A and B are shown apart, each in its own frame.
Chain A
Amino acid sequence: MTSDAPKALGQSLLQKSLRKFRRDKFGMAALAVVAVFGLIALGVKAGLFCTLDQATTPVGDQFVKPFAAYERRLPDGTRAKAVSVFGTDIQGRDVFTKLVYSIKQAFAIGLIVSVLSVLVGVVLGCISGYFGGIVDDALLWVYTAINSVPFILWIISISYAFGRGFTGVVVALACTFWVGVYFNVRSEVHRLKEMEFVLASESYGASKWSIIFRDIVPNLTHLIFVFLSLDFIAAVKNEVLLSFLGLGIAGEPSWGVMIANARLDLLAGKWWEVTGATVLLFILVMAFNMLTDALQDAFDPKKVG
């Protein structure tokens, strides 16, 4: 037997999981929705659907109702009759454009935060779980400290300290979310460490790092997927919360800013901006929730049989 064997085992597990996942109708539907959102986000990033400039330039008078006729301001300064898609906001910017642009924002925050926190969590979790000793004690100490205060408090505190804006939001969320990944990875590594294939690799004299990367990390796939998905949702939802507290992204539209800022407008009967953002956010998070469930079902080694 060579040290390739466990990898092969991992692969077959992965294939099995993928097959199981493909059979999950809800999961596939959720994936499709996420994919559509993702494509739009990519498109926005590439400047296809709308640019930041378009999302922040007034196109008409303030507070035009959805589907109402209005005079659209064209880039050359003239005006033309048009029908609004989803109304305009306080400055006369197109709400639909803002909503679409915000998809990119949501993905930017969701992806950066989830990738960062999963990366940090997995690396530290592996180190902690595999090497043990002082490093493990120290990391566990930090974990316990962070974990014994509700996350929301850390998120608010850190983003206050770092200041408003994209960086502040990302730093605050990533600094807090990694601990969940860390602890789960650590316990999983503890379990894997005692597994036959790891012991085998060790007896073959494979280096510790190669064991971590070749034997252990591939077996964390399910955790990684699930946490990427979970942290993505949590990041997008927390962005709304931070915006509500005045700590969101400045200068660029985002669902959080739209929901938080349009609160006053809603009371004055201008319902479209906050509703649009809420609905889109709902669809995306719903899809991600279902996707997480499906991933959990399909990739959890305990359930794949």
Chain B
Amino acid sequence: MKKQTLALVAAAALAACAKTGGKPGERVLEYGAVAVAGTSDPNQVASMYDADLTGLVYDALYDYDYLARPFRVVPALAEGMPEVSKDRRTYTIKLKTGVFYPDDACFEGGKGREFEAKDFVDALYRKADPKSKSQTWWLVDGQFAGLDALRKAAEGGKDFDYAAVLPDLKAVDRHTVKFTLKRPFPQIMWVLAKEAMAPYPLECARKYGEDFANHPVGLGPFRMLEWDKNARYTLVRNEKYRESLYPSEGEESDKAAGRLADAGRRVPFADKVIVHEFSQTQPYWLQFRAGKFAFGRVPGEFTEEVFKLKSKEGNKKIWERDAAGNRILTEDYAKKYAYYPLPLLDLIYRGFNFEDPIVGGLGKGKKLRQALSLAHDINEENNLFYNGLNIVYAGIIPPGVQGFDPKVKSPYHGPDLERAKKLLAEAGYPEGKGLPELQECGSEDARTVEQTAFFIKNAEKIGVKVRFEGMRFAELSKKLKEKRCQIMGLAWGGDWPDAQNFVQLAYGPNKSPGSNNYNYDVPEVNKLYEQALPMPPSKERDVLYQKINARILEDQPFHGSMARTRDYLIPPDTLNFKPEEMLSNHAKYIRLKSWGEPDTWGTKK
């Protein structure tokens, strides 16, 4: 009897898990993420997953064109593109009028007020306020003289002067922003398009305090309905969302894939967005395969299941490819999904601390670094741990951004043990004699450990001993920032699709605690970088960047490099989805076929 009831409960429970979702007739968009968002506060956005959430609940002045490649910035809250002065330092931006915040208890009377230019300035003030512990201050650090000074004045626990009016960053009138940069910075448009630069009502940030991270009040296409931390967040359409239309231009492939069918229609299409957060790949993958998500990314360990493998040469997998060079889905998958490969703007590298007495510097350390690079087999690393799917390239500028030159080859691309041994001897450590054990830092997850073990084995082949120190992220960040790692396996994901965002990793003044974690600091490179900084992407800038790249390849402050490709699978029910990880508001554009035609929202003003 007892057993029977138990079985009944179990059966009922299993039946209940079939599908979550909304009320009948509600257009619910569900997808998953293999990571957890921590915050939706534009001031705190730290990871791609934070950005994915923030980008849906906030709107910035500018946005990426959803379909255009190469990327293009288009106005969002701004009325049009900025008016730029001759010296390319002063920007005047007219903002849209009649845009209202959603109703929230933080407003007077609970009614959302109109968005004003001051909100943008206030948001920057809050970034500059040391008390707000902003993670995104670096976006504007050093750009505006006045803001830098205000921050400086508030350091050491003093109150930030929110009432100050700056000449170089101000709201000229209720709907116009004007700012002057310290020096021309062509990438400022990418910065303005970042989720972290979205305006918000300061009174709300104040009212919610630190909890503002969980209680967004923004102008984005969606509003936060519920956030079950570490599990899922549910967003609903922001009824007050400004008029935003589906783009009517795109690439050839967009037309072919039907991604222009909704051109000119008002977005978003979904009433509700549910994002399921996972901390492991396999449950994510199974839920996707069970048909729960509007799109999916193939986790590395399931690649062989998804794509047709032609043959194997040793550990090298040869994949079957179509005319365009893309891999082909196996029958099972081809029936259910379309495949979209997305090369990421990635720099996976193994850095050597340039300030370290042994592996650093331009003397013996340089020869040692070169020897280690030659001992390592990066193609095999790619085969073993990435199914051979990463793009291995030379230097600091990844494929896919202007300035990348596929012809450049690294002079220290291994494996070449003979040369490595020779260089090691020249460095003064014949067969590794006299060289103390080196230390490599990395995160402690299983894959990193294996990957580092592979490098350690390779280093051993020329007599160099390396010890791995795996650590959790807090400790790794600390060690990196304090320059206490000798060798470090790291990855850099681009903040914007411009070579500058990568080349800055080799700029001396950016060394730890900045983003140049391997502390490379060479006057010539610094000078070239500074020279190129005010230049927009151009042939001239490419020449300077290639000079820097060549120098880096010779000095080998890091070896690599690899960029990943993300494999997206899209079920036929999902329309308008164009994968891209530089932008974060896909959910605004996606429409499911099963919802039927877009409703009045899509056509009404």
Residue B444 is within 8 A (CB to CB) of chain A in the complex: yes
Chain B positions within 8 Å of A165 at CB level:
469-470
Q: For B384, list chain A residues within 8 Å (CB).
A: 62, 90-92
Interface string of B436-450 (1 = CB under 8 A from A): 000000001110011
A250 lies within 8 A of B449 (CB): yes
Please, how many angstroms separate the alpha-carbon atoms of A163 and B450 in the complex? Answer: 18
CA distance A90 to B445 in the complex (A): 15
Q: Does B475 contact A (CB under 8 A)?
A: yes
Q: How far is the CB of A58 from chain B (nearest CB, A)?
A: 8
Contact of A251 (CB < 8 Å), options: B301, B305, B446, B467: B467
Residue B426 is within 8 A (CB to CB) of chain A in the complex: no
Contact between A250 and B454, CB atoms less than 8 A apart: no
Query: A264 in the interface, Cβ–Cβ < 8 Å?
Result: yes
Interface residues of B in 111-156 (CB under 8 A from A): none
CA distance A57 to B458 in the complex (A): 10
Q: Which residues of A contact B446 (CB under 8 A)?
A: 246, 257, 260-261, 263-264
Contact check, A250 vs B315: say whether CB atoms are below 8 A apart.
no
- Per a CB cutoff under 8 Å, which of A58, A164, A246, A268 touches B302? A268
CB-based contact B444/A246 at 8 Å: yes
The listed residue (B457, B468, B472) touching A57 by CB distance below 8 A is B457
A160, CB-defined interface residue at 8 Å: yes
A57 proximity list for chain B (CB < 8 A) = 457
Closest B residue, CB atoms, query A264: B301
Counting CB contacts under 8 A, is A3 at the interface? no
Q: Which chain B residue shows the least CB distance to A261?
A: B446
Contacts of B472 in A (CB 8 A): 160, 246
Does A136 interact with chain B (Cβ within 8 Å)?
no
Instruction: Tell me, yes or no, whether B453 is within 8 Å of chain A by CB.
Output: yes
Q: How far is the CB of A252 from chain B (nearest CB, A)?
A: 10
The answer to whether the Cβ of B25 comes within 8 Å of any Cβ in the partner chain is no
A1 on the B face (CB < 8 A) = no
Select B453's contact among A160, A247, A251, beta carbons within 8 Å. A251
Question: For the complex, is B605 an interface residue (Cβ under 8 Å from A)?
Answer: no
Shortest Cβ distance from residue B473 to the other chain A in the assembled complex, whole angstroms? 10
Neighbouring B residues of A261 by C-beta, 8 Å: 446, 449-450
Residues facing A in B427-481 (CB within 8 A) are 444-446, 449-450, 453-454, 456-457, 467-472, 475
Residue on A nearest B454 in the bound complex, by CB:
A91
Shortest distance from the beta carbon of B482 to any chain A beta carbon, whole Å = 15
Q: In the assembly, what is the distance between CA of A165 and CA of B446, in Å?
A: 13
Q: Which residues of A from 228 to 287 have beta carbons under 8 Å from B?
A: 246-247, 250-251, 257, 260-261, 263-265, 267-268
- A188 an interface residue at 8 Å Cβ cutoff? no
Contact B454 A267 (CB under 8 A): no
- The answer on a CB contact under 8 Å between B312 and A268 is no
**Complex-state Cα separation, A90 to B314, whole angstroms:** 13
Q: Are A91 and B453 in contact (CB under 8 A)?
A: yes
Query: Please, which residues of chain B bring their CB within 8 A of the CB of A92?
Result: 315, 384
> What is the bound-complex CA distance between A174 and B603, given in angstroms?
69
**Chain A residues near B456 (CB-CB < 8 A):** 251
Question: Does A268 contact B454, Cβ atoms closer than 8 Å?
Answer: no
Q: Which residues of A are found within 8 Å of B444, using beta-carbon distances? A: 164, 246-247, 250
* A91 partner residues in chain B, CB cutoff 8 A: 384, 450, 453-454, 457
Q: Which residue on B lies nearest to A253, using beta carbons?
A: B453
Return B455 CB to nearest CB of chain A, in Å: 11
| B279 interface hit (Cβ, 8 Å) | no
From the candidates B315, B454, B469, name the one contacting A163 in the complex (CB within 8 A): B469
Residues of A within 8 A of B471 (CB): 163-164
Chain B residues numbered 7-38 whose CB sits less than 8 Å from any CB in chain A: none
A62 partner residues in chain B, CB cutoff 8 A: 315, 384
Cβ-closest chain A residue relative to B285: A267
Quote the shortest CB–CB distance from B362 to chain A (angstroms).
Answer: 31
Convert A41-59 into 0s and 1s, putting 1 for each residue whose CB lies closer than 8 angstroms to a CB of B.
Answer: 0000000000000001110
Task: Name which residue of chain B comes closest to A252, CB basis.
Answer: B453
Q: How far is the CB of A110 from chain B (nearest CB, A)?
A: 22
Give A63 to B131 CA distance when docked, in angstroms: 52
Minimum CB–CB distance for B418 against chain A, Å: 13
Cα distance A58–B385 when bound, in Å?
Answer: 14
Q: What is the CB-to-nearest-CB distance from B335 to chain A, in angstroms, rounded to a whole number? A: 21
| A62-B315, A90-B384 known; A268-B305 Cβ under 8 A | yes
A160 to B445, CA, bound (A): 14
B445 nearest in chain A by CB position: A246
Docked CA distance A260–B445 (Å):
10
Chain A residue at smallest Cβ distance from B303: A268
What's the least CB distance linking B433 to chain A, in Å? 19
Is residue A61 contacting chain B, with contact meaning CB distance below 8 A?
Answer: yes
Least CB distance from A14 to B in Å reads: 46
Which residues of chain A come closer than 8 Å to B546, judged between CB atoms? none
B288 to chain A minimum Cβ distance, whole angstroms, is: 14
Shortest Cβ gap from A130 to chain B (Å): 42
A267 near B282 (CB under 8 angstroms)?
yes
Query: Do B301 and A268 touch across chains, with their CB atoms under 8 A apart?
Result: yes
Chain B neighbourhood of A263, CB < 8 A: 446
Residues of A near B159 (CB, < 8 A) are none
Cα–Cα, bound, A247→B475 (Å): 13
Q: Cβ of B210 < 8 Å from any Cβ of A?
A: no
| B385–A61 touching, CB < 8 Å | no
Taking the complex as formed, is B304 at the interface, i.e. its CB lies under 8 A from any CB of chain A?
yes
Minimal Cβ-Cβ distance residue in B for A244: B446
Q: Are A264 and B282 in contact (CB under 8 A)?
A: yes
CA distance A163 to B446 in the complex (A): 15
What are the residues of chain A within 8 A of B315 when measuring CB–CB? 61-62, 92
Residues of chain B lying within 8 A (CB to CB) of residue A257: 446, 449
The residue in B304, B314, B446 that gathers the most chain A C-beta atoms within 10 A of its C-beta is B446
CB distance from B389 to the nearest CB of A (A): 15
Measured in the bound complex, the distance between the Cα atoms of B461 and A56 in whole Å is: 13
* Assembled-state Cα–Cα distance A268/B281 (Å): 12
Q: How far is the CA of A267 from the CA of B385 in the complex (A)?
A: 16
Instruction: Give the docked Cα–Cα distance between A264 and B449 (Å).
Output: 14
Shortest C-beta distance, A17 to chain B (Å), equals: 45
Q: Among A90, A250, A260, which residue has its beta carbon within 8 angstroms of that of B470?
A: A250
Q: Specify which chain B residues have a CB less than 8 angstroms from the CB of A61 in the assembled complex.
A: 312, 314-315
A-B contact pairs, 30 of them (CB 8 A): A56-B453, A56-B457, A57-B457, A58-B457, A61-B315, A62-B315, A90-B384, A91-B450, A92-B315, A163-B471, A164-B444, A164-B469, A164-B470, A164-B471, A246-B444, A247-B444, A250-B468, A250-B469, A250-B470, A251-B456, A251-B467, A261-B446, A261-B450, A263-B446, A264-B281, A264-B282, A264-B446, A267-B301, A268-B301, A268-B304
19 new A-B contacts at CB < 8 Å, known A91-B457, A268-B302: A57-B457, A61-B312, A62-B315, A90-B450, A91-B453, A91-B454, A160-B472, A164-B444, A246-B445, A246-B446, A246-B472, A247-B444, A250-B444, A250-B470, A251-B467, A251-B468, A257-B446, A261-B446, A265-B301
The 4 closest A-B pairs by CB, nearest first: A261-B446, A246-B444, A268-B301, A164-B470
Residues of A within 8 A of B (CB): 56-58, 61-62, 90-92, 160, 163-165, 246-247, 250-251, 257, 260-261, 263-265, 267-268
